[in-house]
Every structure is written in structure tokens, then in C-alpha cells.
Amino acid sequence: MSFKRLLLEALKAGIAGAFVMPIAGMISKPIFSWHVWQYGKKSAEIFVENPSFGLLFAVHLLWSWVAALLLIAFLRKMRADSPVLLGAAVGGIYYFLVNAIALPLYFGDPFPWQQGVPYLAQPLIVLVSFAICVSFMSRRYVLSRES
């Protein structure tokens, strides 16, 4: 697998996924209120006290690219025959390991299940939507067996 090709696939799919996440959040907002993006903002606040919208957007794109890079590399390594289905599962696992456990521990926040269904469901929907989008956008690359 050419690393340059992987980087470009991740950039393409990560940017698409970055735009899918807010849409999934807005669609689920009437059901679950608005409980997303708190860790993107907190990540930016590590470096800048009051981050601008532009910086938040840049952080969002950067995290999306890195997550897409890792997801696509994993899907290629697993030689997934159904990359979108496996991507959705990985998105759910990522949510629980990173957003539901690691980030609350790091920032000293309560776990989502301690705050109620809206704090658990909406970010899960958003991250699984991201993973499905990335997997779908990169499926030809993932399914190609060229190195």
C-alpha cells in the first residue's frame, strides 16, 4: 500500500466525513438535543484559551483526517469484504473507547451513560455516520488488493 495513496484517500474520505458529522448531528438534534462537539472544542482549548470558529473548524478537519487515516488503514489490513459494515462497527467501537471512556477520563467529565440517553446516543450516531461515510468513500481503495 502506497503511503501517499493512503494519505490522499484519508484526506478525501476524512473531509467528506467531516461534513457528514454535523449533518447527522443536526438531524438527530430534535430527538436528542445537542450534545456533540464538546471534545473538539476542549481539544482546541488545550492550545488556545478561546478558540475561534476557524480554529475549531481546522481542528475538526484534522481530527477527521486522522480518524479516516486510521480507519482506512485498518480496513485495508483486515481485507474487509464489506468495508462499510465493518466501518460502521469500528465507528461504534471508536465512540465507546475514545469519546465515551478516554476523553471523559482525560477531561474529568462524567461518562455519557451517567448523563442520560441524549449524551450517549447523539455522539454515537454522529461517529457511526462518519465511519460509514469514510468507509463508503474509500471502499474501492479498501477493496483493491494492490499494494
Domain containing 113 equals: 3-143
Q: Which secondary structure element, helix H or strand E, spans residue 36, and what is its range?
A: none
pLDDT of residue 120: 84
**Number of domains into which the chain is organized:** 1
Between CA 131 and CA 120 the distance in angstroms is 17
Spatial contact of 10 and 72, defined as CB atoms under 8 Å apart: yes
Residue 28's pLDDT is 74
Rounded CA-CA distance 137/130 in Å is 11
Per-residue pLDDT of the chain in tens (147 residues, 90 and over written 9): 589 999 999 999 999 999 998 888 777 776 766 666 778 888 889 999 999 989 989 988 999 999 999 999 999 998 878 999 999 999 999 999 999 999 999 999 999 999 888 788 888 988 999 999 999 999 999 998 665
| H-state helical runs in the chain | 3-32, 38-45, 53-78, 83-94, 103-107, 112-115, 117-137, 139-143
